[in-house]
Amino acid sequence: PEPRRAPISGDFSPKTRTGSAGLPRPRGRLQPPGGGLTARGRLTYLNVLVNIQEIISENCVVIFSKTTCFYCKKAKKLFEHMNVNYTAVELDLNENGSQIQDVLEQMTGGRTVPRVFVNGTFVGGATDTQRLHEEGKLLPLIHQCQLKGKS
């Protein structure tokens, strides 16, 4: 089934998807600490960074994605085929998506999507993630995270 997308809003409302069922569960912060809006209604850099870090630390697999991106779909399908839950933050459906992408560039050294994090660590894009899987290194990272009690 077609996965539901995160709502278009001023918050970080990622959705967790199960590889097999495709049913979303909201995760992460709905509002930044203290509101975190500038005079123009945009989130501050620090609040974007804090939200990203919280989402990454609270979820085993996080994919910063765009709904029309081929490689983003490829990364999601990899986790779906592995029957692994992932949290997708759809940047093109979030009014702060460009800001989120700017902060991700500072954090990871790249602006392209997807930006895939496993167990709190940036692992790369779709090709890097696929390579880790083929080398047998991806599943152990996921299992380490699940042992910590994260979803």
The full length of the chain comes to 151
pLDDT recorded at residue 26: 34
Mean pLDDT over 57-79 rounds to 97
Contacts of 45 (CB under 8 A, 6+ apart): 99, 102, 103
Residue-range domains of the chain with CATH: 15-147 (3.40.30.10)
Other Cβ atoms closer than 10 A to 9: 12
Residue 130's pLDDT band (cuts 50, 70, 90): very high
Pairing of strands 15-17, 25-26: antiparallel
State the pTM of this model: 0.76
Determine the pLDDT at residue 31: 39
* 24-63 per-position pLDDT tens digit: 333 333 333 444 545 455 678 999 999 999 999 999 999 9
